Structure 1
């Protein structure tokens, strides 16, 4: 009888804890809905309308799911908070009960969903047609007086924990371990291309010469289209 009482109490405690988590999640989402628009953008780097649109796409185009304990929207907010700050500290403000291990699992699930081709290829795409390139050129010419430019290019160092394998490839000249990520954007700062294959020890010019974008631009110019990417002195 004593054992049955113990099991009954344990079951009731588990049910109570689950209810507490659900209540906290409801309160969390209410706080998010009431959050001022400027504060929302500051914490998550997206406005509320874009966040809702992102959730809609992830729900309908990927296998990402929420649970009773961690709703779908909380998973996405948790990930956006981490990507915006690079830290787990602010995630506590998203959902009070998320342990770091749980938050890490949520972040991995959402990032895997974001990397799905249905999402990635819709938002990150280099201008493939002459018409698309002509539009971007017109925008650079209109806004900045720069002829023939179809994108701006640069690399940025994304810090990471010291890797156990080939550590020297990731130790950059600034004295920490990183990925040296090459990005191309248009005149509206929309990302057109990302190359995140190289460690922080790799020079910008080597990443450029190894990228498919370099070959693509060269082919366009050989066909007398005369288009350019705008970069600093790290690019030939």
Structure 2
């Protein structure tokens, strides 16, 4: 992965580790201006950072997400999750939880009204599924902020998979 990060921006003066640090700093603070642009150890010009962020996200999605974010569970994990959720909620058969969250963004150039949410700001509506250990099992951040949570769920691959499984029983 370090080799891929090294090729992500043509500048040879910024190390792959510095690029990754800048992206992680951005994730932690949600802003370029607060940390990445001012930090002595991580400081990158905004244009360099923009290219780095885009390419690093693609690398992370391709290399790390398939390893760390998996919807499937073993039978033992299913059993433990069901027991954990039942002890806390008295709902039988629950193995994961799903919810949506709004990720604040700047208004996009094309059709910004689609991204204006009911909370009064521009966002992406991201669906997240997690298990009993609070491990993220699925993320879908394709939808604009005006999309209702039920719509995001109804058009998701996870909903289709669950619907098919219910009818097979």
Q: Normalising TM by the smaller chain, what interval?
A: 0.7 to 0.9
- Answering whether residue 30 of structure 2 is matched by residue 86 of structure 1, we say yes
Aligned to 1:114: 60
Q: TM-score, normalised by structure 2?
A: 0.83
1:211 to 153, 156, 169: 156
Shift of the alpha carbon at 1:181?
0.7
Q: For 2:131 and 2:157, how far apart are their aligned partners in 1?
A: 17
**How far does residue 130 in structure 1 lie from its aligned partner after superposition?**
4.4
Q: CA RMSD in A?
A: 2.3
TM-score by length of 1: 0.62
Task: State the alpha-carbon separation in 1 of the partners of residues 49 and 118 from structure 2.
Answer: 32
- Residue in 1 aligned with 2:47? 101
Q: Which one has the largest radius of gyration?
A: 1
The answer as to 2:8 corresponding to 1:63 is no
**Structure with the higher strand share, 1 or 2:** 2
Q: Which runs of 5+ in 2 are unaligned?
A: none
Alpha-carbon shift at residue 220 of structure 1 (Å): 2.6
Asked whether the 8 Å contact 1:74–1:94 carries over to 2, the reply is no
Count of paired positions: 164
Tell me, yes or no, if structure 1 residue 174 matches structure 2 residue 113.
no
Match of 1:185 in 2: 130
Matches of 2:43 and 2:158 in 1, distance apart? 44
Distance 1:106 1:94, change over 3 A: farther
Aligned match of 2:109: 164
